[in-house]
Amino acid sequence: MIPSIVKLRRSWQRLRTLTRVNLIVGDVLLLVFMYTAVTVYFGAASQVRYESNDFPGAKKASTAFLALSPFERHIGYFNRGTAEAAVGDFEPARTDLETALKIAPTRDECAVRVNLSYVYEKLADEIATEDAKKSDELYAQALQTLEDAPKECRPDKSEEQQKSSEAKKRVEEKKNAEPSDGSSGGGKQDQNPGDKGDEKKGPGEKDKKQPGSGDDQQKSEEEKKREELEKRAEQSEREQQQQGDGGQGGRTTPDKPW
């Protein structure tokens, strides 16, 4: 009788120990599941909110994803940078997308490059009429970002290749914009013969004509350059708006594949 009781007690203790272990393992698995579910939720929420034009909501969801997930962090930076670019916050968008590019795997690199190029382009558009040199540098940076994309993420005839080609064409047109009347560079060529003619007429007449005419001509060329850049930017904006569903207009925002 006594040996039976001892065996029963031992069996009961093993059962209690096993139950406790199972409960602990179950709690850990539940926490892992909940953590994964919440992380995936915020990752998906950033895309859903972006597609519904809730850009601030998309940014918050992306930030929450970054706070929770130690994996696939390039997605969080990409999503947040894209949401920031959608509302015109191009400087923080630039920072996030550049960070995403540094850690993105090859398969996702092209998507990041397309949107980062878009941000460089928009930054260049903003200062095109104020600082043409800096604007050209940003356009060049946008082009270089696209050209450095690995072939693995943009196979021939793929959607990514098409997006990259369209972006390159648009940026190149802006970067190479010249006055529509073809007067760029003509002022300097016309000025030299005039100087020679003035020298023949005498020093006095040369001093009266040269300073004013050269400055006016240079100013006119700069104004034409700015006007042409403005037209290019407006035309690009209209073309992007016409890319919405049915050609009825759409968001002038970067792509959001995730």
**Is residue 147 scored above 90 in pLDDT?**
yes
- What's the CATH number where 69 sits? 1.25.40
Specify whether 100 is located in the same domain as 113. no
Q: From 78, 104, 130, give the residue that closes a domain.
A: 104
- Least confident span in 125-129, 139-143, 150-154, 192-196: 192-196
- Provide mean pLDDT across the span 14-20: 80
Specify whether 140 is located in the same domain as 242. yes
Specify whether 98 is located in the same domain as 117. no
- Which pLDDT score, from 0 to 100, does residue 91 have? 96
Structural domain total, the chain: 2
- Least confident span in 83-87, 118-122, 249-253: 249-253
- Which pLDDT score, from 0 to 100, does residue 183 have? 40
**Is residue 54 scored above 50 in pLDDT?**
yes
- Least confident span in 7-16, 49-58, 146-155: 7-16
**Is residue 192 scored above 50 in pLDDT?**
no
- Least confident span in 9-18, 48-57, 190-199: 190-199
**How large a percentage of the chain has pLDDT more than 90?**
35
Mean pLDDT rounded to a whole number for the chain = 75
- Which pLDDT score, from 0 to 100, does residue 60 have? 95
Q: For residue range 75-112, what is the model confidence (pLDDT) as tens digits?
A: 999 999 999 999 999 999 999 999 999 999 998 999 99
Q: From 87, 104, 121, give the residue that closes a domain.
A: 104
- Provide mean pLDDT across the span 250-257: 49
**Is residue 24 scored above 80 in pLDDT?**
yes
- Provide mean pLDDT across the span 134-149: 94
Question: Higher model confidence: residue 79 or residue 4?
Answer: 79
pTM above 0.85, yes or no: no
pLDDT band at 2 (very low <50, low <70, confident <90, very high): low
Specify whether 118 is located in the same domain as 235. yes
**Is residue 180 scored above 60 in pLDDT?**
no
Tokens coding 17: 């120990």
Specify whether 240 is located in the same domain as 126. yes
Q: From 56, 76, 104, give the residue that closes a domain.
A: 104
Specify whether 113 is located in the same domain as 5. no
Specify whether 119 is located in the same domain as 14. no
| Boundaries of domain holding 117 | 107-258
**Is residue 133 scored above 80 in pLDDT?**
yes
